[in-house]
Structure 1
Amino acid sequence: MTFHLHFTGQVQGVGFRPFVWQLARLMKLQGAVSNGADGVHIYINTDSATAQLFLSRVQAEAPRLARIQSVALSEVAPVYYTDFAIVTSQITGQASLLLTPDLALCEACRAEMADSVDRRFGYAFTTCTHCGPRYSILHQLPYDRQTTTMSAFGMCTDCEREYHDPANRRFYAQTNSCPNCPVELRLFSASGQQLANHQDEIIDYVADALGAGQTVAIKGIGGYLLLCDATNANAITQLRKRKHRPTKPLAVLYPNVATLQQDCYLADDERALLTGSVSPIVLLDQRPNPASKVAVDKLAPGLSQLGVMLPYAPLLALLANKFNKPLVATSGNVSGSPICYTNEQALEQLPAIADLILTHNRAIVVPQDDSVVRLSPAYRQPIVLRRSRGLAPTVVYSPKKKESGAGDEVNTTTVLAFGASLKSTFACQLRGNIYVSQYIGDLESYDTQTSFRATLDHFLKLFDATPDLILADQHEGYFSTQLAHELATIWGIPIQLVQHHEAHLAAVLAENGLTGDEPILGVIWDGTGYGTDGQIWGGEFIAYQNSVFNRVCHFDYFDSLLEDKMPREPRLSALSLAHNIPGADTILRVKFTDKEWHLYSKLPELSNEVVGCLWPMSSPITHASVNGSHAAVWPMRAHATGKNRLKTSSVGRLFDAVTALLGLADQVSYEGEAALLLETHAARYVRAKGYTGVQSYLPDVTTQIPTRAVVEGVVRDIQAGQSTDQIAAAFHYTLVQVVAALAQQTGIRQLAFSGGVFQNALLVDWLRHKLEPAHKLYFHHQLSPNDECISFGQIAHYALTTPLPVQSKTETTYVLSHSR
Structure 2
Amino acid sequence: MAAVDRKQTETALNSATVAVEERRRISISGIVQGVGFRPFVYRLAVSSGLKGFIRNTPSGVLIEVQGASPLLDLFSHAVRQDAPPLARIETVEEKLIDSLPEENFVIGYSSAGSEVETLIPPDIALCEECRKELFDPANRRFRYPFINCTNCGPRYTIVSRLPYDRPFTSMHTFAMCGECECEYRDPLDRRFHAEPTACPVCGPALQLVDASGRTSVADDVLAETSTILRSGGIIALKGVGGFHLAVDASNEDAVRRLRARKGREAKPFAVMMRDAVITGRYCELSDGELAALNAAEAPIVLLKKRDGTALAPSVAPESDRLGVMLAYSPLHALLFDGSPEVLVMTSANFSEEPITSENDDAVKRLQGIADAFLLHNRPIYLKCDDSVTIHLSGKLRQLRRSRGYVPAPVYLRESGPSVLGTGGELKNTIALLKDSHAILSQHIGDMKNFESYRHFEHVARHLQHLFQVSPELVVHDLHPDYMTTLWAARQELPRLGVQHHHAHLASCLAEQREEGPAIGLILDGTGYGFDGRIWGGELLVGDCGGAERFASLEPMPLPGGEAAIMQPWRAAVGYLFRSFSEMPELPFMKGRSIEPVVELLEKQVGIYETSSCGRLFDAIAALCGLKGEISYEGEAAVALTHAAGGSAGDSAFSYGLQEENGRWIMLVSPIVRDAAAAVLHGVSVAEISRRFHRTLLDCFQEIIARASMATGIKTVALSGGVFQNALLFETLIRELEAGGYRVLAHSLVPSNDGGLSLGQAMIGREYLKGNYRGVH
Same fold (TM over 0.5): yes
Q: Is the 8 A contact 1:375 1:761 kept in 2?
A: no
State how far apart, in whole Å, the 2-side matches of 1:520 and 1:466 are: 31
Q: What is the DSSP-based 3-state SS (H/G/I as helix, E as strand, rest coil) of the residue aligned with 1:652?
A: helix
Q: CA deviation at 1:589?
A: 5.7
The residue number in structure 2 matching 1:135 is 156
Structure 1 residue corresponding to 2:41, chosen from 3, 20, 44:
20
TM-score after normalising by structure 1: 0.87
The residue number in structure 1 matching 2:347 is 331
State how far apart, in whole Å, the 2-side matches of 1:679 and 1:644 are: 30
State how far apart, in whole Å, the 2-side matches of 1:692 and 1:714 are: 15
When structure 1 is superposed on structure 2, of 250-259 and 52-61 the one drifting more is 52-61
Structure 1 residue corresponding to 2:676, chosen from 715, 725, 736:
715
CA 494–49 in structure 1, closer or farther in 2 if over 3 Å, else same: farther
Q: CA deviation at 1:781?
A: 0.7
The residue number in structure 1 matching 2:755 is 789
Deviation string for 1:158-187 (max 9, x for gaps)? 222322333332222212112232311111
Q: Is the 8 A contact 1:554 1:705 kept in 2?
A: yes
Q: Is the 8 A contact 1:697 1:730 kept in 2?
A: no
Q: What is the DSSP-based 3-state SS (H/G/I as helix, E as strand, rest coil) of the residue aligned with 1:194?
A: coil
CA 169–584 in structure 1, closer or farther in 2 if over 3 Å, else same: farther
State how far apart, in whole Å, the 1-side matches of 2:557 and 2:289 are: 41
1:596-611 matched pairs, under 5 angstroms: 596-605=593-602
| Letter in structure 2 aligned against 1:761 | A
Structure 2 residue corresponding to 1:760, chosen from 698, 713, 725:
725
1:273-284 matched pairs, under 5 angstroms: 273-284=292-303
Q: Greater RCO between the two (CA within 8 Å, min separation 6)?
A: 1
State how far apart, in whole Å, the 2-side matches of 1:555 and 1:706 are: 6
Structure 1 residue corresponding to 2:479, chosen from 466, 471, 475:
475
| Letter in structure 2 aligned against 1:762 | L
State how far apart, in whole Å, the 2-side matches of 1:326 and 1:279 are: 16
State how far apart, in whole Å, the 2-side matches of 1:591 and 1:329 are: 39
Instruction: State the aligned residue count.
Output: 740
State how far apart, in whole Å, the 2-side matches of 1:697 and 1:383 are: 32
| Letter in structure 2 aligned against 1:571 | W
CA 431–80 in structure 1, closer or farther in 2 if over 3 Å, else same: farther
CA 685–334 in structure 1, closer or farther in 2 if over 3 Å, else same: closer
| Letter in structure 1 aligned against 2:527 | G
Q: Is the 8 A contact 2:561 2:606 kept in 1?
A: no
The residue number in structure 1 matching 2:85 is 64
CA 767–162 in structure 1, closer or farther in 2 if over 3 Å, else same: same
TM-score after normalising by structure 2: 0.92
Structure 1 residue corresponding to 2:240, chosen from 221, 226, 241:
221
1:86-485 matched pairs, under 5 angstroms: 86-196=107-217, 198=219, 201-290=220-309, 293-295=310-312, 297-376=313-392, 379-400=393-414, 410-411=415-416, 413-485=417-489
The residue number in structure 1 matching 2:635 is 673
Q: What is the DSSP-based 3-state SS (H/G/I as helix, E as strand, rest coil) of the residue aligned with 2:438?
A: strand
Q: Is the 8 A contact 1:697 1:731 kept in 2?
A: no
Deviation string for 1:554-588 (max 9, x for gaps)? 00101122121121111111111112638863226
Deviation string for 1:766-800 (max 9, x for gaps)? 10221113111110011000111111111122334
State how far apart, in whole Å, the 1-side matches of 2:366 and 2:234 are: 10
Q: CA deviation at 1:592?
A: 4.9
The residue number in structure 1 matching 2:580 is 581
CA 694–320 in structure 1, closer or farther in 2 if over 3 Å, else same: farther
Q: CA deviation at 1:238?
A: 0.8
Q: CA deviation at 1:265?
A: 1.1
Q: What is the DSSP-based 3-state SS (H/G/I as helix, E as strand, rest coil) of the residue aligned with 2:367?
A: helix
State how far apart, in whole Å, the 2-side matches of 1:802 and 1:315 are: 47
The residue number in structure 2 matching 1:735 is 696
Q: Which runs of 5+ in 2 are unaligned?
A: 1-21, 772-776
1:622-637 matched pairs, under 5 angstroms: none
| Letter in structure 1 aligned against 2:717 | A
State how far apart, in whole Å, the 1-side matches of 2:362 and 2:370 are: 10
Deviation string for 1:386-427 (max 9, x for gaps)? 110001122112233xxxxxxxxx22x221111111011111
Q: Is the 8 A contact 1:398 1:796 kept in 2?
A: no
Deviation string for 1:745-765 (max 9, x for gaps)? 122321101110011111111
Q: Is the 8 A contact 1:418 1:480 kept in 2?
A: yes
Q: What is the DSSP-based 3-state SS (H/G/I as helix, E as strand, rest coil) of the residue aligned with 2:399?
A: strand
Q: CA deviation at 1:52?
A: 4.6
CA 745–151 in structure 1, closer or farther in 2 if over 3 Å, else same: same
The residue number in structure 2 matching 1:697 is 654
Q: CA deviation at 1:441?
A: 0.7
Q: Is the 8 A contact 2:29 2:60 kept in 1?
A: yes
State how far apart, in whole Å, the 1-side matches of 2:218 and 2:337 are: 20
When structure 1 is superposed on structure 2, of 141-150 and 647-656 the one drifting more is 141-150
Deviation string for 1:267-289 (max 9, x for gaps)? 12111111110111111111111
Q: CA deviation at 1:117?
A: 2.0
Q: Are 1:775 and 2:741 an aligned pair? A: yes
Deviation string for 1:191-221 (max 9, x for gaps)? 11111375xx101111111111110001000
Q: What is the DSSP-based 3-state SS (H/G/I as helix, E as strand, rest coil) of the residue aligned with 2:669?
A: helix
State how far apart, in whole Å, the 2-side matches of 1:680 and 1:520 are: 31
| Letter in structure 1 aligned against 2:326 | L
Deviation string for 1:10-64 (max 9, x for gaps)? 1111111111111111222111111111111111124666545433221111111
Q: Are 1:725 and 2:697 an aligned pair? A: no
State how far apart, in whole Å, the 1-side matches of 2:144 and 2:424 are: 42
Q: What is the DSSP-based 3-state SS (H/G/I as helix, E as strand, rest coil) of the residue aligned with 1:279?
A: coil
Q: Is the 8 A contact 1:591 1:666 kept in 2?
A: no
The residue number in structure 1 matching 2:532 is 534
Q: CA deviation at 1:802?
A: 4.7
The residue number in structure 2 matching 1:525 is 523
CA 570–645 in structure 1, closer or farther in 2 if over 3 Å, else same: closer
The residue number in structure 1 matching 2:714 is 749
State how far apart, in whole Å, the 2-side matches of 1:237 and 1:445 are: 25
Q: CA deviation at 1:474?
A: 0.9
Q: What is the DSSP-based 3-state SS (H/G/I as helix, E as strand, rest coil) of the residue aligned with 2:636?
A: helix
CA 324–15 in structure 1, closer or farther in 2 if over 3 Å, else same: same
